Amino acid sequence: MTATAQSRDMLQIAAIAADAKGGEDLVALDVSEPLPLVDIFLLITGRNERNVAAIADEIEDQLLENGHKRIRREGRQEARWVLLDFGDLVVHVFHEQERMYYGLERLWKDCPVVPIDLPTGAPSVD
């Protein structure tokens, strides 16, 4: 299996929202093969707790505004690692230290990277 068109659309909405709030080092992984209930993990780094919370809030607002229902949100109060579960797309917004410590890229290293197209002027990380 590969990520669906809907999950890729959700990814674009989330990536643009994250970029707008200063999210860094965006990486999207197609986890549809090992995880049949999820298509894409989006990993984002925030500079501090306030930035992590702002990124997560903007992503959630934009996805909800575009008609996507949030299933679950965890970690918002501490804002060190916020998880937003939208079904086909699961977003992980990390504080830099947590991202390095948990190393989800290493854990899911066999999964293909999904390209992210950010607006002109913003670098794209694949």
Q: Are 40 and 28 in contact (CB under 8 A)?
A: yes
Domain boundaries, the chain: 5-114
pLDDT by residue (tens digit) across 68-96?
999 999 998 899 999 999 999 999 999 99
pLDDT value, residue 74: 95
pLDDT value, residue 126: 47
Q: Are 111 and 34 in contact (CB under 8 A)?
A: yes
- Classify domain 5-114 at the CATH topology level: Beta Polymerase; domain 2 (3.30.460)
Residue 93 neighbours by CB under 8 Å, 6+ apart: 18, 23, 44, 45, 46, 52, 55, 56, 59, 81, 82, 83, 84
pLDDT value, residue 120: 67
Q: Are 71 and 86 in contact (CB under 8 A)?
A: yes
